[in-house]
Amino acid sequence: MNRLESLKKYSKIVVDSGDMQSIQEYLPEDITTNPSLILKVITLPKYEYIINNSIAYSKKKGGTYHNQLINAVDKISVMLGQEILSIISGKISTEIDAHLSFNSDMCIEKSKKIISMYEEEGISRSKILIKLASTWECIKAAEELKKFNINCNLTLLFSFAQARACAEANVYLISPFVGRIYDWYKSKSLIQQEYSVDKDPGVCSVRKIYYYYKQYGYKTIIMGASFRNIHQILALSGCDYLTISPDLLKELKSSTGNVVRQLHCPKVMEQPIDLLSRSQFLWLHNEEPMAVEKLSEGIRQFGEDYRKLKQIIKAKM
């Protein structure tokens, strides 16, 4: 048995890609996308029809030039999601504009809009996870959106404060970024020369979140993300979900051997009584320099890729 099949016994495997070829090859149940992945896919000639159809949709909707531009960009994410959902049986995570990451009301408005665009195509909201950055504002937006049966994937999660706030808000799923945490520590020369995956700061972060959630019976799904090597993935076998890039999926599939489960559910205890306030959340998050830098950097990066996508649409319009 190859390691990918063995890993599936303990964790649900999600493909981190927007490319149809990779999705058809691995046929996962769920898919995650983000503005960077969408930008990468949409610039390929074979997907030009998605851009053209999105522009046609926005023009049919009418309104100001600005509204048409935004509608076209949003429609690209939905059309790509629609294509992917025709292949997979589960859910797709669709990310909204990162520029809204510090405004709860605008996150809620945009999320409802994306869901309505999917529903125009006959796709149930139960098939969609709205991806939001793990800021306080986005966590509160996700909490509110659950009232409308809209579930969210809280991404760019680097600190324990973010994880705790998400659990307390009862969000559907979180995506702690293993590889980006590792990158930060490596860039600061804080990784030991003799690397041990059990001491990998990204792996340790997810393990801490996992045991906290399971110990207190939180229902929020933990999906390890942003891996740099298969050792990080295998060290988290037993995590609820693992979203993996096509390159690392290929490496797992081509290697043989039984995977040993690393994460085990502890006995459930009573949940903590005190909930984090906004000020407590901000202070605890602020105490982790890595988390502050990587969250800010991630939001900027996704925001920049969203802007580049708008420029491509502008040129076509």
Exposed/middle/buried for 93, CB within 10 Å: 0-12, 13-18, 19+? buried
* Cα dihedral 194, 191, 231, 220 sign: positive
CATH code for position 255 = 3.20.20.70
> How many Å apart are CA 242 and CA 238, to the nearest integer?
9
The pLDDT tens digits of the residues spanning 184-218 come to 999 998 887 788 999 999 999 999 999 999 999 99
Q: Please count the other Cβ atoms lying within 10 Å of the Cβ belonging to residue 265.
A: 12
The pLDDT tens digits of the residues spanning 245-272 come to 999 999 999 999 899 999 998 888 887 7
Strands, DSSP E only, in the chain?
A: 12-16, 30-32, 92-95, 128-133, 151-157, 173-176, 221-224, 241-244
Quote the pLDDT of residue 129: 98
Task: Give me the amino acid identity at 41.
Answer: V
Provide the residue range defining the domain that includes 269: 3-316
**Token code pair at residue 117:** 């665009």
The pLDDT tens digits of the residues spanning 269-299 come to 887 778 999 999 999 999 999 999 999 999 9
Q: What is the total count of domains within the chain?
A: 1
Residues labelled as active-site residues: 131
Q: Which of 16-30, 152-166, 219-233, 247-261 has the weakest average pLDDT?
A: 16-30
Residue 163 has pLDDT above 80, yes or no: yes
The pLDDT tens digits of the residues spanning 50-79 come to 999 999 999 999 999 999 999 999 999 999
> How many Å apart are CA 41 and CA 308, to the nearest integer?
13
Quote the pLDDT of residue 22: 83
Quote the pLDDT of residue 132: 98
Exposed/middle/buried for 121, CB within 10 Å: 0-12, 13-18, 19+? exposed
Point out which residues pair with 177 in neighbouring strands: 225
Residue 159 has pLDDT above 90, yes or no: yes
In eight-state DSSP terms, residue 301 is: H
> How many Å apart are CA 21 and CA 91, to the nearest integer?
18
Answer for the pair 80, 49: CB distance below 8 angstroms, yes or no: no
- What are the φ and ψ backbone dihedral angles of 159, each rounded to 5 degrees? -110, 155
Quote the pLDDT of residue 266: 87
The pLDDT tens digits of the residues spanning 113-158 come to 999 999 999 999 999 999 999 999 999 999 999 999 999 999 999 9
Q: List C-alpha distances in Å: 17 to 29, 158, 253.
A: 13, 21, 17
> How many Å apart are CA 153 and CA 207, to the nearest integer?
19
Quote the pLDDT of residue 195: 87
Quote the pLDDT of residue 107: 98
